[in-house]
A and B are shown apart, each in its own frame.
Chain A
Amino acid sequence: MTAIARIAIAGSGCVLPSGWGVERFWSAAREGRSAIMPLQSSLFHSERVAAFGHVHDEDHQRSRKDVAQNLQRYCPPAVIWGVSSVRQALAEAGLEPGNDGLRYGLYCCQGGYTHPSLTSYGELLHECQTPTGADMRRLAQKVLQERALDPFLVLKSLSNGLLGIVSLALKLECECNAYMQGVAGNLAALREACAALQSGRIDAAIVVGAGSELDPLALAALAEAGVIGTDGSQSLRGFDLQGRGGIAGEGAAALILRRADDLPEGPQTCLSGLFAHSRVDSLNLPDKQVDLLIGSASGDPHKDADLARTLARTGAAHITSSTPLTGILSGAPSLVDLIIARQTLHAQSIAPVIGLEQPVNPHLPFVMGEPRDAVLHDCLVINRDDNGFSACYQLDFHAAD
Chain B
Amino acid sequence: MSETRIVITGLGAVTGFGFEWQTLWEKMLGAEHCVRPWQPDDVPDGAFAVRYAAPVDMSLLPEKLQGHPAWTTPLEKRSRFGWVAATQAVADSGLALEQLRGAAVLCASGAPQHMLADMLLTEAPDGSAPGWQHLMPRCADVSAEGSLCQSNDRLARVIADDLGCEGPVINISSACAGASQAIGNAFQMIRRGEVKVALAGGADSVLNLDTMAALYLLGAASGEQRWGADLCRPFDRDRSGLIAGEGGGFVVLESLEHALARGATPYAEVLGFGSSLDAYKVTAPQPQGRGAALAMQAALDDAGLRAQQIDLINAHGTSTPLNDVAETLAIKQVFAEHKHYRALAVSANKSQFGHLIAAAGAPECIVTALACLNDLVTPTVNLHDADEQCDLDYCAGEAVSRRVDYALSNSFGFGGLNTSLALGKYREHGQ
Question: Which A residues fall within an 8 A CB radius of B?
Answer: 2, 41-49, 71, 74, 106, 110, 113-114, 117-119, 121-123, 125-126, 129, 133-134, 136-137, 139-141, 143-144, 147, 149, 151, 153-155, 158-161, 163-165, 167-168, 170-181, 184-185, 188, 192, 195, 216-218, 220-221, 223-224, 230, 276-278, 387-389
Contact = CB atoms under 8 A, between A and B. Distances in A.
A129 B174 contact: no
A136 B131 contact: no
Given A125-B123, A126-B123, A154-B211, A160 B175 contact: yes
B173 A173 contact: no
B192 A278 contact: no
B122 A118 contact: yes
A224 B134 CA distance: 15
Given A151-B217, A181-B152, A174 B277 contact: yes
Interface in B128-179: 129-132, 134-136, 139, 142, 147-149, 151-153, 156-157, 160, 166, 168-175
B116 interface: yes
A139 B119 CA distance: 13
A182 to B, nearest CB: 8
Interface residues of B, number: 79
B71 interface: no
Contacts of B63: none
A125 B129 contact: no
Contact of A389 (B129, B149, B169, B175): B169
B25 interface: no
Nearest to A97: B279
Given A140-B209, A180-B152, A217 B214 contact: no
B43 to A, nearest CB: 5
Q: Which 6 A-B pairs have the closest CB atoms?
A: A164-B415, A46-B132, A159-B173, A154-B214, A151-B217, A180-B173
Q: Which residue of B43, B173, B188, B417 has the most chain A CB atoms within 10 A of its CB atom?
A: B173
Contact of B129 (A44, A141, A173, A221): A44
B38 interface: no
Contacts of A165: 282, 415
Contacts of B194: 2
B152 A113 contact: yes
B149 A221 contact: yes
Contacts of B174: 159-160, 163, 176-178
Given A136-B43, A159-B175, A195-B188, 15 more contacts: A114-B114, A114-B147, A121-B116, A122-B119, A122-B120, A136-B47, A137-B44, A140-B213, A160-B417, A164-B417, A168-B280, A217-B135, A220-B136, A220-B139, A389-B153
Contact of A167 (B111, B188, B279): B279
A389 B48 CA distance: 41
Contacts of B175: 158-160
Contact of A144 (B151, B216, B280): B216
Q: Which residue of A42, A46, A223, A277 has the most chain B CB atoms within 10 A of its CB atom?
A: A46
A224 B218 CA distance: 35
16 contacts: A42-B129, A113-B112, A117-B114, A123-B123, A136-B42, A137-B47, A140-B48, A151-B213, A160-B414, A168-B281, A170-B279, A181-B152, A220-B139, A221-B149, A387-B151, A387-B157
A326 B296 CA distance: 42
A388 B43 CA distance: 38
Nearest to A149: B213
Given A46-B131, A46-B132, A160-B417, A175 B274 contact: yes
B148 A217 contact: yes
A195 B191 CA distance: 11
A106 B275 CA distance: 10
B290 interface: yes
A44 B173 contact: no
Contacts of B166: 277-278
A125 B119 contact: yes
B276 interface: yes
A71 B274 CA distance: 26
B123 A168 contact: no
A139 B208 CA distance: 13
Contacts of B298: 175
A49 B290 CA distance: 49
Contact of B160 (A2, A42, A278): A278
